[in-house]
Amino acid sequence: MPVEFIVNGDTVEEAVTAELIARSIHSLTGDGDSFAILARDSQVYIQTSGGPKDGFILEYRDGSEVAHYASVNTDLTADEVVRAMQQYLANDTRWKTDIEWESLAFESAGGGTGRVLVIGLLIVLVGAWLTWKLIRTT
């Protein structure tokens, strides 16, 4: 599967480039559906939500529920998100060490209610996107 880039629920049809990622992330306002997903597969992706006012959160999944992580910093700048997504696109693994991550495997056990809601919304959005994609291809 080629890399897919989804911004605010819309799959971007043009080739995914570093410039497209920068332009798209800087266009996120934080209002309503303000998210972007860069996916290599249905369970292999990096995604963000947020905007310049309150910051961004990053999340990545590497093939399973056990390999699902969120940035500890929930107010990342657009530039930090752009850099991480550009590195992800280029198969440059520095994004994994440049940002501090925490596992989401046990997040449902409690704590961090606001964080759980944001992450839950992202999971619902990814699920809706995957369902739409499945329906579209059948």
pLDDT digits (tens), the chain, 138 positions: 689 999 999 999 999 999 999 999 999 999 988 999 999 999 999 999 999 999 999 999 999 889 999 999 999 999 999 999 999 999 999 999 999 999 987 654 444 445 555 666 666 666 666 665 666 666
| CA distances in angstroms from 96 to 25, 28, 55, listed in the order given | 19, 23, 19
Q: Residue 84 contacts by C-beta under 8 Å, 6 or more apart in sequence?
A: 46, 58, 95, 98, 99
What's the predicted TM-score (pTM) here? 0.76
Judge contact between 94 and 85, C-beta under 8 A.
Answer: no
Judge contact between 31 and 43, C-beta under 8 A.
Answer: no
